[in-house]
Amino acid sequence: MERWKGRVALVTGASVGIGAAVARALVQHGMKVVGCARSVDKIEKLAAECQSAGYPGVLIPYKCDLSNEEEILSMFSAIKTLHQGVDVCINNAGLARPEPLLSGKTEGWRMMIDVNVMAVSICTREVYRSMKERNIDDGHIININSMNGHSVVPQSVVHFYSATKYAVTALTEGLRQELREAKTHIRATCISPGLVETGFAFKLHDNDPERAAATYESIRCLKAEDMANAVIYVLSAPPHVQIGDIQMRPTEQIS
């Protein structure tokens, strides 16, 4: 990770869960991390914690609604002005709404497409532009995917979510191919976890907190820190090694 010291990383959805753990880990390794979310209160608190802990990097909170392209473009413009550009992008922000294919609300489907697919694509395009403008040839784009992007489980409430994550699988491989065609050494990776103990299930089952809690009580789940370790592993690989996808589940998880 030595070569990433002082470089700029963007982490989307950095206020809680996986995003917060990844942001902390990158700051611990000396990176300048722009952490964005719709609400920055928790990122500001995390930034203060990182500073008091004496971590060599710095966390910069940025308020951005990733379902709004204008806000994303404005964020990249601000990063360019203040920090030159982005060298590492962690497309972490994602959400699931309990909207089955036969009875789901269009609004919920659209929300998942906007954040899980469109925001990932827009951020990726803008990060690539940022790298090209500065002749950065060793950048890295990491998409936080899901095991739901590799198999469809028999749970109707996650079927549309699963479709958006299958899109992330395709987008990551498509990105890798386009980066090769462009003759760059910029790398693309996705990390696909199974059950991670975060607030994710509580947002999915927001009308049924008992069901959400049961999701995490049935087995020993992955922790957000396990995901952060996977990100560090990917970034630490030598420049000639590209890790395409890490699929990781809790040992006790069946599907």
Backbone dihedral region for residue 176 (phi beyond 0: left; psi -120 to 50: alpha; all else: beta)? alpha
Catalytic residue, chosen from 55, 62, 128, 161, is: 161
Q: What is the rounded CA–CA span in Å between residue 236 and residue 55?
A: 18
Alpha carbon 208 to chain centroid distance?
26
Question: Three-state SS for 215?
Answer: helix
Please tell me the chain's helix, strand, coil percentages from 3-state DSSP, rounded to the nearest 5: 50, 15, 35
User: Across the chain, how many H-helices and E-strands are there?
Assistant: 9, 7
Per-residue b/e over 17-36, b at no fewer than 16 CB within 10 Å?
Answer: bbbbbbbbbbbbbbbbbbbb
- Under DSSP, is residue 135 helix (H, G, I), strand (E, B) or coil? coil
161 an active-site residue? Answer: yes
Q: Give the three-class secondary structure for 161.
A: helix
Q: Which tokens in the block code for residue 64?
A: 């951005």
Q: Which positions are catalytic? A: 161
